[in-house]
Amino acid sequence: MSNEVVNNNVTSNPPPHNPRLESWKTFFKKLRKNKGAMIGGILILVFIIIALIGPHFAPYTQSETNYSVKLTGPTGDHWFGTDHHGRDIFSRIIYGMGITMWIGFSSVFISAIIGTVLGVVSGYYGKRTDAFIMRVMDILLAFPGILLALAIVSVLGPSIRNLIIAVAIFSVPVFARIVRGSTLAVKKLEYIDAVKALGATDFRIIFKHILPNVTSPLIVQTTLSIASAILTASGLSFIGLGAQPPSPEWGAMLSDGRNYLYDAPHVAFFPGVMIVIVVLAFNIFGDGLRDALDPKMKA
C-alpha cells in the first residue's frame, strides 16, 4: 500500500518548469528549421576543425617549393595546382584557414569586449558619460571601416598583429551602439527598479540583470562581424598591408595570383573562392541566428 502511495505521488508531481531550458529548446528548434543557417553552421564547424588539425594532414608544407611544377593546374598530386614557386595551393589554403580564422575570431572578440563595456557604461549611466562615449563612436563611424583599418595599419605597419588591432578598432562602434540600445531598453524595465530598491549595486545589476538580456543581439552581431573582419583582413592583405609573404593568408595568396590570371588563373581562383565560401557561411549562419533569437518569430 505504501508503495502505491509513493508511486502516485511521483507520477502526480510533474518536473519543475525551467524557462531557460524551454527557451533554448525553442531556439534550437527554430534554428534547425532554417536550412541555410544549418548549412552555414556546419561549414563553420568544418572550417574550425580544418584550422585546428588540418596542417597535420596537409599533403605538403606551406613553404615547400618545387620549381619543376610551378604554375601547374589541378592534378592528382596537386588538387588545386601550384603557384609561381611550385608550392601546393591546396596545402597553403589549409594552412591559411588557421590564419583566417584566427584573424576573424580574435579581432571580433577584442572589439566585442571593448564595445560591450563601452555600450553598457554609456547606456546605464547616461548623461555626460553617454554623450562622451557616443561622440567618440560617431567619430569612428564617420570613416568607412576599410579606410579606418587601412589608416591604422599604415601607421602601425603591415603585420597580422596590427591587422587584428585595426579590424578590432573599426568594429568597436557597432558593438557599442547595439549594446547601448539594448541596455537603454532593459534599464527602463520595472524589475530593474525593484532590484535597485533592494539595494543591489550597479556592478550586480549590470552583470546579472542587464548583460544576460543583451546577449541575443550581441551573438548575432559577433557572427556577422567575423565575416566582415575576414573580408577586411583579406582586402588589406591583398594590397600588401596585412599578412606578408610567404604567409599563406588567403588575401596575400590572391594578390600573388593576380599576376597570373591569364596563364594560370587557378592561382587566384581557389583562394578567392575560399574567401567567398567562408564569408558566405558566417553571413547565412548569422542571419539564421538572428531569426532564431528573435522573440517575435514563432517556432
85, part of any domain = no
* pLDDT for residue 298: 47
107, part of any domain = yes
* pLDDT for residue 299: 42
Bridge partners (DSSP) of residue 82 are 88
CA angle 280, 54, 255 (to 5 degrees): 55
Domain CATH number, residue 193: 1.10.3720.10
15, part of any domain = no
* pLDDT for residue 295: 54
Q: Which three cell numbers stand for residue 208?
A: 546579472
Q: How big is the chain by its Cα radius of gyration, in Å? A: 25
186, part of any domain = yes
Q: Which three cell numbers stand for residue 125?
A: 549611466
Residues in contact with 282: Cβ distance below 8 Å, sequence separation at least 6, in sequence order: 40, 44, 104, 223, 224, 226, 227, 230
pTM score, two decimals?
A: 0.84
The number of domains in the chain is 1
Instruction: Please list the ranges in the chain whose pLDDT falls under 50.
Output: 1-2, 5-6, 10-11, 298-299
What distance in Å separates the CA atoms of residue 182 and residue 214, rounded to the nearest whole number?
A: 6
Is the Cα torsion angle 117, 123, 126, 128 positive or negative in sign?
Answer: positive
Instruction: State the residue range of the domain holding 228.
Output: 103-299
Phi/psi for 82 (5° steps) reads: -125, 160
Residues in contact with 121: Cβ distance below 8 Å, sequence separation at least 6, in sequence order: 129, 133
> Are 105 and 52 within 8 A, CB to CB?
no
Phi/psi for 194 (5° steps) reads: -65, -40
pLDDT digits (tens, 9 = 90+) for 205-264: 888 888 888 888 888 889 989 999 999 999 888 888 888 878 899 998 998 888 888 888
221, part of any domain = yes
241, part of any domain = yes
200, part of any domain = yes
266, part of any domain = yes
